[in-house]
């Protein structure tokens, strides 16, 4: 098996425990503050998890959503779980703005304008601090 999320963190690690991790996605410059919540072990579907583990993972998704809202002040949050390319459980937590490159389309959809410049500078630090406050 050659799974990129088993072999690598998948971004800048902001928070982790023995179950899952929150990473800042660093390869999408149009979407600063885009985070992923990644299960540490290789599991394909949410329904492969025990109910208590589903809740544990989603609690981290909710905490990440809240941290992104505080740090990024977006117009909207998009949550998504696909796993079509990498079938290892992970949730996308994407801050969206009315003037971002794809709004109102998904960020994986058709762009509708050029991307406004948004600073990436201290976003990782701000998100890390917010997540660690709990
Ligand atoms: Zn994996």
Report the separation in Å between the CA atom of 113 and the middle of ligand 1, taken as the mean of its atom positions: 34
The answer to whether the predicted template modeling score (pTM) of the entire model surpasses 0.75 is yes
**Tens digits of residue pLDDT in 40-51:** 999 999 999 999
How far apart, in whole angstroms, are the C-alpha atoms of residue 47 and residue 82? Answer: 14
Report the separation in Å between the CA atom of 38 and the middle of ligand 1, taken as the mean of its atom positions: 9
CATH number at residue 58: 3.30.428.10
Number of domains comprising the chain: 1
DSSP 8-state code for residue 64: H
Residue 101 — pLDDT band, cuts 50, 70, 90?
very high
Range of the domain at 90: 4-133
Q: Please identify every residue whose CB atom is under 5 Å from ligand 1, which is an ion.
A: 3, 5-6, 42, 88
For residue 133, pLDDT over 90 is answered with no
pLDDT of residue 49: 98
């Amino acid at each position: 098996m050659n799974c990129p999320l088993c072999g690598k963190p998948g971004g800048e690690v902001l928070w982790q425990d023995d179950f899952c991790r929150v990473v800042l996605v660093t390869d999408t410059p149009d979407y600063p503050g885009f985070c992923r919540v990644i299960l540490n072990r290789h599991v394909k579907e949410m329904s492969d998890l025990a109910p208590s583990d589903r809740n544990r993972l989603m609690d981290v998704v909710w905490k990440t959503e809240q941290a992104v809202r505080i740090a990024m002040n977006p117009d909207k949050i998009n949550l998504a779980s696909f796993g079509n390319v990498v079938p290892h459980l992970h949730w996308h937590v994407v801050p969206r703005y009315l003037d971002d490159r794809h709004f109102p389309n998904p960020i994986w959809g058709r762009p509708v304008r050029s991307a406004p410049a948004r600073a990436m500078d201290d976003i990782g630090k701000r998100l890390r601090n917010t997540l660690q406050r709990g």
